[in-house]
């Protein structure tokens, strides 16, 4: 959520900068709400002052033995009017809060201009794209019977998958490999979290109210949703907290399934497991002091890159343009891995700095010294990595002419020394 005080001081400037991300800030609606809030706040303060004056007058009249019946009636009337004004002010403030929940974060000045992903800017590329003396197959063909999409369709529906035998084993190895890198080499604390969260947690990280159609609601009396990413529960670990400065930075990693309806993406990536309703990620979250968040973004991005480098998968890093930024992000780097069957790079991780946008919603703060006023932390997150898409990239980049898939050298210790996927059977 944006800082309401800054927004009140320069609404036109905020509206202008939000245009960089293709968002039309309803300046007129905001100004109307502000005018109504100011009027009701002034009325409330005036009535409260008048009520206090009459209350003091009643006290003096009592001391002097004077008749106070008229004053009692007057203070009763003032009390009723004050209650009405307070309720009206609360209602306007609630409307203003709901209005702000739908306003995205301000893009950092370093974010490239552009309206769509075609205008994202490549920052760097790593690795050599493999060359084949045959037509490379896609991951569905290479997975064969190990990738049982038909079984998943029978038991659940489209955009789900069953992994069998060697493929399931390889996914498990990948997950453990990623967690070991981030905990042992990058200093993250592993966190196990619930796979369901409440509405407040999703509001805190920016998924609600704007993206409710993208979520799976559990239904029933409890207002629970399946998590779209571990970012939600892990970031909320610091919600409604005041941390000691000495605890920062916090670096947390969590492996979870993720559940998304993929609303608006129908017709895209319908073949295979690139875009699923249920998939797995190893998610990185950092909570830092404000002055450290831009350095932390570069560090977190490098941690996600390290996984791809160890697996020797060619990739590139792109800076998302304003029109392609996620709702809560001030700046995002996407890591895109090379997929030979498509002859293109595809997203495998997004690493974002949210500044204090999520922290303001979540009331996540820290205190530099005792008795000092608490400050909002800055939050960041990124996938390190999306496990399913990493599996896809390995199948396609490590394929041989006969469809045999070599296991990356870094993963061999995680599969008891086995060197090919077929040998895992």
Residue 108, in any domain of the structure? no
Same domain, 382 and 267: yes
| Per-residue pLDDT reduced to its tens digit, 304-363 | 999 999 999 999 999 999 999 999 999 999 999 999 999 999 999 999 999 999 999 999
Same domain, 395 and 302: yes
Same domain, 170 and 319: yes
| CA–CA distance, 234 with 226 (Å, rounded to integer) | 14
Place of tokens 């990623």: 178
List 347, 375, 419, 422, catalytic entry: 347
Where on the phi/psi map is residue 190: left (φ > 0), alpha (ψ -120 to 50), or beta? beta
Residue 18, in any domain of the structure? no
Give residues with Cβ within 8 angstroms of 58, minimum separation 6. Answer: 68, 71, 72, 75
Same domain, 68 and 154: no
State yes or no: is 275 an active-site residue. Answer: yes
At 265 the pLDDT is: 63
| Full-model pTM | 0.93
List 201, 254, 350, 352, catalytic entry: 350
Residue 11, in any domain of the structure? no
Residue 107, in any domain of the structure? no
We report the CATH number of the domain holding residue 368 as: 3.30.930.10
List 51, 169, 275, 360, catalytic entry: 275
Same domain, 245 and 274: yes
For 134, the enclosing helix (H) or strand (E) is: none
Same domain, 171 and 318: yes
| Per-residue pLDDT reduced to its tens digit, 355-411 | 999 999 999 999 999 889 999 999 999 999 999 999 999 999 999 998 999 999 999
Where on the phi/psi map is residue 235: left (φ > 0), alpha (ψ -120 to 50), or beta? alpha
At 63 the pLDDT is: 73
State yes or no: is 309 an active-site residue. Answer: no
pLDDT band with cut points at 50, 70 and 90 for residue 220: confident
Residue 112, in any domain of the structure? no
Which of 101, 127, 160 terminates a domain? The answer is 101
State yes or no: is 319 an active-site residue. Answer: no
Maximum distance among all Cα pairs of the chain, rounded to whole angstroms: 108
Q: Measuring CA to CA, which residue among 327, 290, 106, 297 is closest to residue 205?
A: 327
State yes or no: is 361 an active-site residue. Answer: no
Same domain, 181 and 303: yes
pLDDT band with cut points at 50, 70 and 90 for residue 165: very high
List 260, 360, 361, 365, catalytic entry: 260
Which of 45, 69, 101 terminates a domain? The answer is 101
**Number of structural domains the chain divides into:** 2
- With contact defined as beta carbons under 8 Å apart, do 381 and 286 qualify? yes
Which of 68, 101, 134 terminates a domain? The answer is 101
Same domain, 124 and 97: no
Same domain, 124 and 66: no
We report the CATH number of the domain holding residue 48 as: 1.10.287.40
- With contact defined as beta carbons under 8 Å apart, do 123 and 319 qualify? yes
Residue 148, in any domain of the structure? yes
Judged by average pLDDT, the poorest of 12-26, 29-43, 216-230 is 216-230
Range(s) of the domain holding residue 275: 117-424
List 254, 336, 389, 396, catalytic entry: 389
- With contact defined as beta carbons under 8 Å apart, do 328 and 205 qualify? yes
Residue 110, in any domain of the structure? no
Same domain, 77 and 135: no
How many residues would you count in the chain?
425
Same domain, 283 and 389: yes
For 66, the enclosing helix (H) or strand (E) is: none
Residue 294, in any domain of the structure? yes
pLDDT band with cut points at 50, 70 and 90 for residue 75: confident
| CA–CA distance, 3 with 103 (Å, rounded to integer) | 11
State yes or no: is 12 an active-site residue. Answer: no
Same domain, 87 and 198: no
């Amino acid at each position: 959520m944006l800082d309401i005080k800054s927004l009140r001081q320069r609404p036109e400037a905020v509206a202008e900068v939000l245009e960089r991300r293709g968002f039309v800030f309803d300046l007129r609606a905001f100004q109307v709400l502000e005018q109504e809030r100011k009027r009701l706040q002034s009325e409330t303060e005036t009535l409260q002052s008048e009520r206090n004056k009459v209350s003091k007058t009643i006290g003096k009249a009592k001391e002097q033995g004077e008749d106070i019946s008229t004053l009692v009636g007057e203070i009763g009337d003032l009390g009723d009017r004050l209650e009405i004004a307070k309720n009206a002010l609360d209602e306007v403030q609630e409307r203003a809060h709901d209005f702000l929940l739908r306003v995205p974060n301000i893009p950092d000045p370093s974010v490239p201009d552009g309206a769509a992903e075609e205008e994202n800017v490549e920052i760097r590329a790593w690795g050599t794209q493999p060359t084949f003396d045959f037509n490379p197959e896609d991951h569905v063909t290479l997975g064969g019977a190990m990738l049982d999409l038909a079984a998943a369709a029978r038991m659940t529906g489209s955009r789900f998958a069953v992994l069998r035998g060697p493929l399931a084993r390889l996914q498990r190895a990948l997950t453990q490999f990623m967690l070991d890198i981030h905990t042992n080499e990058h200093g993250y604390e592993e966190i196990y979290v619930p796979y369901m969260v409440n509405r407040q947690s999703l509001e805190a990280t920016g998924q609600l109210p704007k993206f409710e159609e993208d979520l799976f609601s559990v239904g029933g009396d409890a207002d629970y949703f399946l998590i779209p990413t571990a970012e939600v529960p892990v970031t909320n670990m610091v919600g409604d907290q005041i941390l000691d400065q000495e605890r920062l930075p916090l670096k947390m990693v969590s492996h979870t399934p993720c559940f998304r309806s993929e609303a608006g993406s129908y017709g895209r990536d319908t073949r295979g497991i690139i875009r699923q309703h249920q998939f797995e990620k190893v998610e990185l979250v950092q909570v830092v002091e404000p002055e450290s968040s831009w350095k932390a973004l570069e560090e977190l991005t490098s941690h996600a890159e390290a996984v791809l480098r160890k697996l020797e998968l060619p990739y590139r890093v792109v800076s998302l343009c304003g029109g392609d930024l996620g709702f809560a992000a001030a700046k995002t780097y996407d890591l895109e891995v090379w997929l030979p069957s498509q002859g293109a790079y595809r997203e495998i991780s997004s690493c974002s700095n949210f500044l204090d946008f999520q922290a303001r919603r979540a009331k996540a703060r820290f205190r530099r010294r005792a008795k000092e006023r608490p400050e909002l932390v800055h939050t960041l997150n990124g996938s390190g990595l999306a496990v399913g898409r990493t599996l896809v990239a390995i199948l396609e980049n490590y394929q041989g002419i006969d469809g045999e898939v070599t296991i990356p050298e870094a993963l061999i210790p995680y599969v008891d020394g086995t060197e090919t996927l077929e040998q895992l059977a």
